[in-house]
Amino acid sequence: MSDHDIVLSVVDDNGLETWLERVVEEPFRLEQVSRTDLTRVLRLLEATTAHVVMVEISEADMDQSLAIITALTSARPWVTVITVCGRANQDLLLQAMRAGARDCFVAGSDASDIRERLRRHQLLRVGHYDDQVRATHSNLVLVASASDTVDTRFLAQNVALGLNQLFPDQRCLAIDTQPSGRSIFYLDIHNEYTLENLLASPETLDETLIGTALEEYRPGLRLLAGGLRRDELEGDRSADLFIALNHLMQMFDRIVINVGTLQSRHWVRALGIHARHLLIAMHPLVDQAHVVRSLGSEWRAHLGKESRVSLVVDGIDTHVPPSLDELAETAGMPVLAGLPMDWRHRLLAMNTGLPVQEQAPRCHYARSLQTLVGKLELSQDEVVEQSWWQRLRGKR
């Protein structure tokens, strides 16, 4: 999926919304946003760089619908606006066309015809000079898990710290969606400013706000608490999340997000299109490998064409089966790395609130983590080749 396969749906009627969800299939993906906030509609359009927007029209709210169509075509001339209505009305259609709409979908129409017309609109879209620039902002690393017993907070924290050490001249942001009341991740730091504050007023996000609200934990690395309830990741709130993260992606070179388990589906659906890496963490358990296979199949539709999905086996013991190769085969995806339990150094890092890379840089866990972070920058072919060479050396 690419950014342009996203179709914005500015629809409030539940019946029309349900019909569109049934009719619009892959490779397209609907992003819903309410008609009540034109500013949010424009921000989401800017964040997705979508080329097709479907706008609900009805006799009762005709003025509002025409205002949205006019605003969209004026602010984004390259966008194709398609109206959606419950029944055909020649007068409504003519007014919408005069405002800038190029087509009209009537609920109940033949689904295959709607899909073909939508496909043609995508193929005939007008190019936009900024598309290539925006396509480069796939700099997210999402850290999810197959089970809530897997500690993605610790893993995401250490991936961010590892990237910060590897690229000290770049700007990195780490977001903890499962913060405790005392700290962000397991680190001895607490910021009053959270992702919820950002979503309340995304238009205030700029360099000044970043510099004052999010102090650097280490040079080049900033941390943000992002605890959101499940209902806050749906509807217009999901649109706000997409908009805010799009702004952040343009301000930071890399963003690492701990999405955990319970809400991971919502985060992947909202942000997967911009993910450079999706790391799915699991323990070396066969049951969890089967869960990973299901998650991989479900989430692939929400990821970008260049997104890489990899497995991180946390708590591996090379003397106890199954092996990494067996887990990879069962899970249906490549293993990026296996991390040892090394409980002593984990506990020390968690309880002191200090990075394990600084407390015990030569411990087994820290060295394995360094290997993991290094592989994030390799191509998929290079990772496979390196894994083959490591297995060959291990047999000697």
Convert the pLDDT of each residue in 306-323 to its tens digit: 889 999 999 999 899 999
The pLDDT assigned to 393 comes to 44
**Topology of domain 3-133, CATH:** Rossmann fold (3.40.50)
Q: Do domains 3-133 and 137-394 have the same CATH topology?
A: yes
Rounded to 5 degrees, what angle do the CA atoms 290, 271, 240 make? 140
CATH code for the domain defined by 137-394? 3.40.50.300
* DSSP bridge pairs for 82: 54, 103
Instruction: Give the residue extent of every domain in the chain.
Output: 3-133, 137-394
Calculate the CA dihedral of residues 221, 184, 356, 166 and round it to 10 degrees: -20
- Torsion (CA) 28, 34, 38, 40 in degrees, nearest 10: -70
pLDDT per residue as tens digits for the range 28-78: 778 888 877 676 777 777 777 678 899 999 888 888 888 888 878 877 778
Could you give the CA distance from residue 391 to residue 168 in angstroms, rounded to a whole number? 31
Tell me the C-alpha distance between 140 and 267, whole Å. 12
Report the candidate in 61, 112, 119 with the shortest Cα–Cα distance to residue 103: 119
d(CA 312, CA 339): 7
Q: Taking Cα atoms as reference points, which of 200, 201, 183 lies closest to residue 192?
A: 183
> For every one of its 396 residues, what pLDDT tens digit does the chain have, with 9 covering 90 and above?
455 578 888 888 889 988 988 888 777 778 888 877 676 777 777 777 678 899 999 888 888 888 888 878 877 778 889 999 988 777 888 888 888 888 899 998 888 888 888 888 877 654 443 444 444 457 899 999 999 899 999 999 999 999 999 999 999 999 998 887 778 999 988 877 888 888 777 667 788 888 888 878 999 999 998 776 655 555 556 667 777 787 888 889 999 999 987 677 778 877 787 889 999 999 999 999 999 999 988 888 778 778 899 999 999 998 999 999 999 999 999 999 999 999 999 999 999 999 999 999 999 999 999 999 999 877 555 544 554 444 444 444
Specify the pTM: 0.73
* Three-state SS sequence of the chain: CCHHHEEEEECCCHHHHHHHHHHCCCCCEEEECCCCCHHHHHHHHHHHCCCEEEEECCCCCHHHHHHHHHHHHHHCCCCEEEEEECCCCHHHHHHHHHHCCCEEEECCCCHHHHHHHHHHHHHCCCCCCCHHHHHCCCCEEEEEECCCCCCHHHHHHHHHHHHHHHCCCCCEEEEECCCCCCCECCECCCCCCEHHHHHHCHHHCCHHHHHHHCCEEECCEEEEECCCCHHHHCCHHHHHHHHHHHHHHHHCCEEEEEEECCCHHHHHHHHHHHEEEEEEEECCCHHHHHHHHHHHHHHHHHCCCCCEEEEEEECCCCCCCCCHHHHHHHHCCCEEEEECCCHHHHHHHHHHCCCHHHHCCCCHHHHHHHHHHHHHCCCHHHHHHHHHHHHHHHCC
Contact 249, 114 (CB under 8 A): no
